[in-house]
Amino acid sequence: MNATKERWITLCKRIGVDDNPNNQLTVWRDWDELRIAYTGSDRHYHNLGHISDGLKELDEIRHLTKNPDTLEFAWWWHDFIYKTTQNHNNEGDSSIHAVKSLSQLLSCNHSLTASLIPKVIRFILATKHDCVPQSADSRLMIDIDLSSLGTLPAIFNINTANIRKEYSHVSDDDFAKGRIEFFKKFLESRPSIYLTEYFKNKYEAQAQENLGRLLTTR
């Protein structure tokens, strides 16, 4: 937890947040909001572990992105809101909180630029996985979010079980049906699971195997 907190504070300093006490209060308050959201009792997969895993992936591809710190800021907030009941726009609601955080930092930091805001929104909304974006950084954001699909089968199964816990209000049959329908539509909408060469080379083969197994097992 402490290492994750330091990571957040370090990011805020990199994007231009100075040591003004008011600024630091905003940084610490935002950390508390992030921590509370990602350690909630309803979070079994979309938790701080998911955030930490994505940060590790991001560290490996920083040289491939034009906006590494903006991408990281978006990553921190992308699952801030995660509700599994129907009619929730998790990504849209998460982006609202991210913009609120950035706006408060902007009001006290002249070194920050408002141009960060539309980029953060774009990166967060990309994790809806409902289209193939043109932006190279948005594609990297998507691939980071999907990196767990390419884990070894035992880890993939654990992740699936943890996601199942987040849908505890849904029957086993409905969960399996919904997951299969989502991934069938997902696979039909793109030529490959991953949209960047780096992640295709790293995870595509294993991810195809994992999803193939999921789609043929009921």
Judge contact between 62 and 68, C-beta under 8 A.
yes
pTM assigned to the model: 0.95
Q: What is the mean pLDDT of residues 194-213?
A: 97
- pLDDT, position 111: 64
pLDDT computed for residue 47 by the predictor: 98
- Residue 171: the pLDDT is 96
What is the percent of the chain where pLDDT is above 90? 81
Nearest Cα neighbor of 67 from 30, 28, 14, 17 is 14
Q: Are 69 and 7 in contact (CB under 8 A)?
A: no
Q: How far is CA 181 from CA 66, 81, 188, 214, in A?
A: 34, 23, 11, 11
Report the alpha-carbon distance of residue 142 to residue 134 in Å, rounded.
12
Q: Which is it for the CA torsion 166, 172, 178, 179, positive or negative?
A: positive
pLDDT (tens digit per residue) in 101-111? 988 887 766 66
Output the six-digit token pair for 210: 């994992």
47 φ, ψ to 5°? -130, -165
Supply 62's token pair.
Answer: 């920083």
Give per-residue pLDDT as tens, 47-103.
999 999 999 999 999 999 999 999 999 999 999 999 998 778 999 999 999 999 988
Question: What's the confidence (pLDDT) of residue 55?
Answer: 98
| Closest among 125, 123, 148, 119 to 46, alpha carbons compared | 148
Query: How large a percentage of the chain has pLDDT more than 70?
Result: 97
